[in-house]
Amino acid sequence: MRVLIIEDEIKIASFMKNGLKQERYEVDLETNGRDGLELAMNTQYDLILLDVMLPGINGIEILKELRANNYNVPVILISALDSTEDRVNGLDFGADDYISKPFSFDELAARIRAILRRTQKHKSTKLHAGELTLDTVTHLAYRDNKEIELTTKEYSLLMFLMINKNKVLTRNSITQNVWGEDLDKDSNVIDVYIKKLRSKIEKKGTRPTIQSIRSVGYRLRDDSALEEFKNNEN
Ligand code: CA
């Protein structure tokens, strides 16, 4: 999922950007209205987070311009203004949702998921490994169609393992991709999370399973995919 943030307040912009990257969205940021509009018109985004008060052109003008040119990318307006009139205006000009500062990241993330659920319905957004399915729009995991509740970190970790299923992942690459730079090299956080994840996704005698690869890292093993691979080789 690719998201564009157009926001001139650096603190809020990086708060959103970092949070979304943690949730494994691809994120671009523009701090100027004019540059933001140009980028929005030249890049395929799944969603735009659009601040209202911006240098250059303001958010409402950007929104009008996009809609007038038939760009129907979902837009969430972000603003310090909180009157009913502003909300109605924003929605009338074609915004999909509206969030007022200050807001919590959890609320923003939930609103993004709600919009993406609606707009991405026709696109395939599911990862599979054996009986396990991970929906990258709703961030929900299922085993035999039963929902498994995951925390944000467990989701990121499982997604990374599933994208790379049957590959051995070093502890270093797991750290870099799931936690970013700030995790201590000697920390056992990865092992703790793997243990939690195992207890949630593994069922005795069924696939897939997370294997520990001694002194290297982990691998999510999906035998069904390996069998397919072997059949294709023959
Ligand atoms: Ca602003």
| C-alpha 29 – ligand 1 centre gap (Å) | 13
Same domain (yes/no): 134, 117: no
Distance from CA of residue 168 to its chain's centroid?
Answer: 23
**Pair of tokens at residue 185:** 């090299």
pLDDT at 38: 94
| C-alpha 66 – ligand 1 centre gap (Å) | 19
pLDDT at 184: 74
pLDDT at 47: 96
| C-alpha 130 – ligand 1 centre gap (Å) | 46
| C-alpha 35 – ligand 1 centre gap (Å) | 14
| C-alpha 208 – ligand 1 centre gap (Å) | 47
Same domain (yes/no): 81, 192: no
Angle at 230 between CA 229 and CA 233, to 5 degrees: 90
Considering only CA atoms, give the Rg of the chain.
20
> Which residues form the domain of 214?
126-233
Same domain (yes/no): 130, 107: no
Q: What is the CATH number of the domain that holds 10?
A: 3.40.50.2300
Tell how strand 140-143 and strand 47-51 pair up.
unpaired
Q: What is the CATH number of the domain that holds 150?
A: 1.10.10.10
Q: Please give the chain's pLDDT, 234 residues, in tens.
A: 899 999 999 999 999 999 999 988 999 999 999 999 999 998 889 999 999 999 989 999 999 999 988 888 999 999 886 667 777 788 888 999 999 989 999 999 999 999 998 887 666 678 888 889 998 877 889 988 899 988 888 998 999 999 889 989 998 889 888 887 667 767 789 999 999 999 998 877 666 689 999 888 999 988 776 666 566 655
Q: Can you tell me the distance from the alpha carbon of 16 to that of 105, in angstroms, rounded to the nearest whole number?
A: 7
pLDDT at 3: 96
pLDDT at 11: 95
Same domain (yes/no): 168, 111: no
Phi-psi region of 150 (alpha: psi -120 to 50; beta: other; left: phi over 0): beta
| C-alpha 138 – ligand 1 centre gap (Å) | 29
| C-alpha 20 – ligand 1 centre gap (Å) | 19
pTM (global) more than 0.75: no
